[in-house]
Amino acid sequence: MLNLGILISGRGSNMEYILKAISKKKIPINPAIVISNKHDAKGLKVAQKLGVKIEVIENKECKSRVEYDKKIISVLSKHGVTQKNGLVCLAGFMRIISPEFVKKYKNRIINIHPALLPAFPGLHSQKQALEYGAKYSGCTVHFVDAGIDTGPVIIQAVVKVKEDDTEETLSKRILKEEHKIYPEAVNLFARRRIKVLGRKTIIS
């Protein structure tokens, strides 16, 4: 069975949905470790309650991105989340990861983004969608490559934008879909049903 490492910075609701699906035996993966770059991330308590080990690596502990990521890699490896036997989920992890980290875990790091990529990458995607006047937005689970929100798409879910939506109401409806597609993507990966062919993924 693969080992899963989840990286968070805050609330951790996506992490929670993934961990709950695992504990209900819906996903065949071992939840090995949750790592946060913030000691007060709410998700840490949630992970502990669900019986998953946690570690904190504060941003200020390291001078550079590469040094920080080396630390993350050593913690992941210590818990069995390796290049050969691991999956890394970014779940609201508010750091850009280094190309070295991406290379080491090629096609083994996935992320959830609250928009239909390639639309509205980066921060505040729901606000970007509203300001653009998009009629539809949604969320995307994708592999992480060296760019920002640019890796191959695994699953997307569409959410209709309402005329009276605020950033808050739209974010809430998108989050509901995130909670469905992220565990689904982890499940597909755990069952080795995702193949990456260049920019495309093939789901079997």
Q: Which is nearer to ligand GRF, 11 or 70 (CB)?
A: 11
User: Among the candidate windows 9-17, 31-39, 128-136, 151-159, which touches ligand GRF by CB under 6 A?
Assistant: 9-17
Catalytic, 142? Answer no
Exposed/middle/buried for residue 173 (C-beta within 10 Å: 0-12, 13-18, 19+):
middle
Instruction: Name which position in 2, 3, 14, 183 contacts ligand GRF (CB under 6 A).
Output: 14
Nearer to ligand GRF, 76 or 112 (CB): 112
Q: 133 to 192, contacts with ligand GRF by CB under 6 A? A: 175, 178
| Binders of ligand GRF in range 27-86 (CB under 6 A) | 43
Q: Which residue is catalytic, options 79, 113, 142, 179?
A: 113
> For ligand GRF, which is the closer residue by CB, 69 or 177?
177
User: CA 146 to CA 181: how far, in whole Å?
Assistant: 23
Q: Which of 131, 111, 113, 130 is nearest to 122 (CA)?
A: 113
CB contact at 8 A, 30 and 4: yes
Q: How many residues at the interface with ligand GRF, by CB under 6 A?
A: 15
Stretch near ligand GRF under the rule CB under 6 A, chosen from 13-21, 71-79, 155-163, 184-192: 13-21
Q: Are 52 and 25 in contact (CB under 8 A)?
A: no
Q: How far is the CB of 171 from ligand GRF (least distance, A)?
A: 7
Residues 203, 40: Cα–Cα separation, whole Å? 37
Residue closer to ligand GRF, measured from CB, 118 or 195: 118
The residue with its CB nearest to ligand GRF is 92
* Contacts for 32 with CB less than 8 Å, ≥ 6 apart: 3, 4, 5, 53, 79, 80, 81, 86
Using the rule CB under 6 A, is 112 a contact of ligand GRF? Answer: yes
Q: Is residue 116 part of the contact set for ligand GRF (CB under 6 A)?
A: no
Helix, strand, coil % in the chain, rounded to nearest 5:
35, 25, 40
Q: In the complex, which residues of this chain contact ligand GRF (CB under 6 A)?
A: 8, 10-15, 43, 91-92, 112-114, 175, 178
